[in-house]
């Protein structure tokens, strides 16, 4: 396979507004399973059981949800950023990151060093819990203690409302600010880089299309093919960590040569 990482590095250096868009494939090398690869979350659990309406509908479905959410949290809570996350943080340090749109809920971008104001968490975060009635926020670890000591579907200690990790489930409304901002940034960038996403879940998967329509170059870094391969300018199939490391290595080499 021809190595297009040098071409991506050239695009990065020639671009003024770069948006990076990531999915679960960026975090598999940190030990967090993705959703649609073999062995992924939707291999083990039926997504139908985890729609927001289910969560609201019965105590037993909430207990089932918390069981799945606890298993996912256990894989995330001690996870460390991998070379892919570190490369994206370096892009910000180089002043080459307009914004990072993430579908991931694992909090690894801030652990890698990206600043909070640069990161748009389209699907929320598993790192805290919110009450669906009064919006009171709780640290995730404190609620997990309650779950592991038998409180299978915890409720708010202020108003008795239902507690749910601050993630967006199928059927739950998207975070308004983050979604509007993601559309705006995607429409204004000149380079849009997708890393580790199958690009099948909307409206998140609209962002690369919005960017392309607005005239941006579209780069896709992914192990397998994605739903947007047909509109990509450059596709690099491979492991996100390794590919992103090679791209940043080229960026540094070109910068030194042209300094």
Element at 145 (helix H, strand E)? helix 140-148
Alpha-carbon distance 71 to 79, whole Å? Answer: 13
Q: Which is nearer to ligand APR, 33 or 161 (CB)?
A: 33
Provide DSSP, 24-64.
Answer: GGGTGGGT---SSSTTSHHHHS-GGGG-HHHHHH-HHHHHH
Q: Does the protein bind ligand APR through residue 223 (CB under 6 A)?
A: yes
Q: Does the protein bind ligand APR through residue 240 (CB under 6 A)?
A: yes
Q: Does the protein bind ligand APR through residue 201 (CB under 6 A)?
A: yes
Alpha-carbon distance 1 to 221, whole Å? Answer: 14
Using the contact rule CB under 6 A, the part of the chain among 11-19, 30-38, 134-142, 171-179 near ligand APR is 30-38
Smallest gap from Cβ 195 to ligand APR, in A, equals 7
Provide DSSP, 86-118.
Answer: HHHHHHHHTT--SEEEE---S-HHHHHT--GGG
Strand ordering across the sheet containing 191-195: 119-121, 99-102, 18-22, 191-195, 217-222, 234-237
Using the contact rule CB under 6 A, the part of the chain among 92-100, 138-146, 191-199, 211-219 near ligand APR is 191-199
User: What amino acid positions are annotated as catalytic residues?
Assistant: 123
Q: For 73, left (φ over 0), alpha (ψ -120 to 50), or beta?
A: alpha
Q: Does the protein bind ligand APR through residue 196 (CB under 6 A)?
A: yes
Beta bridge partners of 129: 138, 165
Exactly one of 4, 64, 96, 123 binds ligand APR (CB under 6 A); which one?
A: 123
Alpha-carbon distance 227 to 83, whole Å? Answer: 25
Q: Does the protein bind ligand APR through residue 25 (CB under 6 A)?
A: yes
**Phi, psi dihedral angles at 175 (to 5 degrees):** -65, 120
Q: Does the protein bind ligand APR through residue 85 (CB under 6 A)?
A: no
With CB under 6 A as the rule, give the number of residues binding ligand APR.
Answer: 23
Token match 């960038």: residue?
189
Residue closest to ligand APR when measured from CB atoms: 25
Using the contact rule CB under 6 A, the part of the chain among 5-13, 73-81, 149-157, 221-229 near ligand APR is 221-229
Q: Does the protein bind ligand APR through residue 40 (CB under 6 A)?
A: yes
Smallest gap from Cβ 151 to ligand APR, in A, equals 25
Q: Which is nearer to ligand APR, 32 or 156 (CB)?
A: 32
Q: Which of residues 131-160 bind ligand APR (CB under 6 A)?
A: none
Query: Quick check: 47 and 172 in contact, CB under 8 A?
Result: no
Query: Where does this chain bind ligand APR (CB under 6 A)?
Result: 23-25, 28-29, 34-37, 40, 103, 123, 196-198, 200-201, 222-224, 226, 239-240
């Amino acid at each position: 396979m021809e190595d297009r990482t040098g071409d991506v590095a050239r695009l990065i250096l020639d671009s003024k507004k770069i948006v990076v868009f990531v999915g679960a494939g960026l975090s598999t090398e940190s030990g967090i399973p993705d959703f649609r690869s073999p062995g992924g979350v939707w291999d083990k659990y039926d997504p139908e059981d985890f729609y927001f309406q289910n969560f609201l509908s019965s105590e037993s479905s909430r207990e089932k949800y918390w069981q799945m959410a606890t298993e996912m949290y256990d894989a995330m809570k001690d996870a460390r950023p991998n070379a892919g996350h570190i490369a994206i943080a370096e892009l910000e340090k180089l002043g080459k990151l307009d914004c990072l749109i993430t579908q991931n809920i694992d909090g690894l971008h801030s652990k890698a060093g990206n600043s909070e104001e640069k990161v748009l968490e389209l699907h929320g975060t598993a790192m805290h819990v919110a009450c669906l009635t009064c919006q009171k926020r709780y640290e995730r670890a404190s609620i997990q203690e309650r779950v592991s000591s038998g409180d299978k579907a915890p409720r708010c200690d202020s108003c008795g409302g239902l507690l749910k990790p601050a993630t967006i489930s199928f059927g739950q409304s998207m975070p308004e600010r983050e979604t509007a901002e993601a559309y705006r940034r995607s429409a204004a960038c000149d380079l849009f880089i997708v890393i580790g996403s199958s690009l099948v879940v909307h409206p998140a998967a609209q962002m690369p299309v919005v960017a392309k329509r607005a005239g941006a170059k579209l780069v896709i870094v992914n192990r397998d093919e994605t739903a947007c391969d047909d509109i990509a300018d450059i596709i690099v199939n491979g492991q996100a960590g390794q590919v992103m490391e090679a791209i940043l290595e080229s960026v540094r080499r070109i910068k030194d040569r042209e300094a």
